[in-house]
Structure 1
Amino acid sequence: MSEPVKGKVEWFKDYQFVGHIEGDKCSVILGEGGISPMKLLLLSVAGCTAYDVVMILQKMREPIKGLEVEISGERREEHPRIYSKVHLHYKIHGNVSEEKAKRAIELSQDKYCSASAHIKLSGAKLTYSFEIVRED
């Protein structure tokens, strides 16, 4: 079993909180003047899958030059206001094979991305699309 992840959130002032994970070099401001925890959750999903897709395409020896992952989410009206729908759009830069790009995204979404798995386990419908931005 892996080591537990430890962190803390401290009330800074008004409705601002600072979060930090032990061993990490950055902190995040939550609440007013910062990012909301639910928006941070979306960014976590996009970051997790972006990491996977780059690593997988590099292991496939595909000529990836850049990647952007756009994410949008819709939340329920009733509490708890969890996400009911999440959509990811991947913009893959480089002369990457469409088939391999699709496979890399599928591997991330179906096997590797733990953050996406959390969203799906909460009952949200997670969809994705992609485009390849070719380089001349």
Structure 2
Amino acid sequence: MPFLISGFTEERDTMHVAVSFNGKLPLVGLNDKGQKTFFDATMDFTAPARYASPMDTVLEALGACSMMDSIAILKKMRKELTSFEADIVAERAEEHPKVFTAIHIRYRLTSPDCTLVELQKATGLSMEKYCSVAAMLRASGCAVTWSSEII
């Protein structure tokens, strides 16, 4: 049973996750559906990290969130998608906390029937209206930009 924080109620759309440390990395995240995520970092510099860092996962979440929106929009347009990728590059602040200051996503779609204009509409709707991760990053002051291309 998840704990409740003052001001939070079970009637709201809430999420609950837990992260644990068992004496060594990786950290293990567990969501309320029982799904695990592993987080790693090179702390002692003797071996490379085996899993993504928390900051890596933020960028991956941005790509996944916006791609899921864009796929749904393109499917509603009845477009056939062969492959869809997002390459994401980010800049971070020089001082701690080293937050993201700028992020650019380059979407690449392979489709036999989707035009660049349709892809740009889908990715634009996602990034400007639907993607919660993009909205949180922008609210933090991060500049989030994107471009799209048909392969």
Structure 2 length normalisation: TM-score? 0.82
Corresponding residue for residue 35 of structure 1: 52
Deviation at 1:15, TM superposition (A): 3.7
**CA displacement 1:98-124 (0-9 Å, x = unmatched):** 111110011001100000111111111
- What is the aligned counterpart of 2:135 among 87, 109, 117? 117
Whether 2:100 is the aligned partner of 1:83: answer yes
Percent of counterpart pairs with the same letter?
29
- Equivalence for 2:29: 19
Which 5+ residue runs of structure 1 have no aligned equivalent? none
CA contact (8 A) 1:120 1:126 kept: yes
Report the count of equivalent residues.
132
> What is the TM-score of this pair, normalised by structure 1?
0.90
Compare CA radii of gyration and give the structure with the larger one. 2
Where 2:79 maps in the other structure, the secondary structure is coil
Could you tell me which residue of structure 1 aligns to residue 73 of structure 2? 56
CA RMSD of aligned residues (A): 1.4
Higher strand content, 1 or 2: 1
Task: Specify every segment of 5 or more residues in structure 2 that has no aligned partner in the other structure, as ranges.
Answer: 1-10, 42-49
Please state if 1:8 is matched with 2:18: yes
Conserved 8 A contact 2:40-2:52: yes
How far 1:21 sits from its partner (Å)?
0.7
Alpha-carbon separation, structure 2, partners of 1:51 and 1:43: 12
CA distance in 2, matches of 1:131, 1:2: 39
The alpha carbon displacement at 1:3 in A equals 3.0
Structure-to-structure mapping, 1:91-130, within 5 angstroms: 91-95=108-112, 96-130=114-148
Are residues 2 and 66 of structure 1, via their aligned partners in 2, closer, same or farther at CA, if it must alter by over 3 Å? farther
Match of 2:5 in 1: none
